[in-house]
Each structure stands twice: as structure tokens, then as C-alpha cells.
């Protein structure tokens, strides 16, 4: 199954906004980490990462989708802490560096 990755944020009581969309998990993780670096904010409570399957319906033809970009969305990828997230990022960067060395 293929996925797209959406970074979303919600400012106040407004509807969630799309921050960026990625076609790979690695690209999404790098963009997510770059947000933390750029803002010097290491809280996982503003920007959220979602993994949505592509080529799939999310509602019936006669109704609206119940899937929302919210904290409780079943497609949201959750990290226990920033340290856990950073370890995932470091592993992706390490794998990228190994690929470069092997090429």
C-alpha cells in the first residue's frame, strides 16, 4: 500500500491547516524535524504528522468524510516524546549517508 504524508497544524480554534505534503515517510520526517530546528520549538503539540493511504475513498458518495486532521485521527503518527522522534530522524539520516557511501 502506498501513502502520502501530511504535516498539519492548528492555530487556536481555527480549522487545521496543511503545512506540507510528502510522498515518502523519510521526506516527511526530515521536513518535520526541520520545522523544529527552524522554530527552536521541540513540542509535538502544534505540528502533526499523518499517514494517509492513497487511491482510497474516505467517505460514501452520499455523505461527508468523517476523517479530520485532528489529534484523534486514526491516521496520525504519534511519537511518545521528542527524543523518540529524534532517534527516528537520526536513523533516516544515517541510512541516507550509508546509501551515499555505497553508491
**Which carries the bigger pLDDT value, residue 65 or residue 42?**
65
| CA–CA gap between residue 91 and residue 33 (Å, rounded) | 12
62 pLDDT higher than 90? no
Domain count, the chain: 1
| CA–CA gap between residue 95 and residue 8 (Å, rounded) | 26
Mapped onto helix, strand or coil, the DSSP state of residue 68 is coil
Q: What is the DSSP letter of 16?
A: P
Q: 25-39 vs 82-102: helix axis angle to the nearest 10?
A: 120
pLDDT of 100 reads 81
Mean pLDDT across the chain: 90
Q: Check: CB of residue 66 under 8 Å from CB of residue 94.
A: no
Domain limits for position 20: 3-102
Amino acid at each position: 500500500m502506498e501513502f502520502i504524508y501530511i504535516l498539519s497544524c492548528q492555530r487556536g480554534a481555527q480549522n487545521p491547516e496543511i503545512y506540507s505534503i510528502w510522498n515518502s515517510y523519510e521526506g516527511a520526517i526530515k521536513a518535520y524535524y526541520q520545522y523544529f530546528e527552524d522554530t527552536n520549538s521541540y513540542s509535538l503539540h502544534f505540528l502533526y504528522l499523518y499517514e494517509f493511504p492513497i487511491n482510497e475513498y474516505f467517505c460514501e458518495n452520499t455523505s461527508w468524510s468523517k476523517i479530520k486532521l485532528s489529534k484523534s485521527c486514526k491516521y496520525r503518527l504519534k511519537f511518545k516524546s521528542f527524543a523518540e522522534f529524534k532517534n527516528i530522524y537520526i536513523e533516516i539520516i544515517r541510512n541516507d549517508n550509508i546509501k551515499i557511501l555505497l553508491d
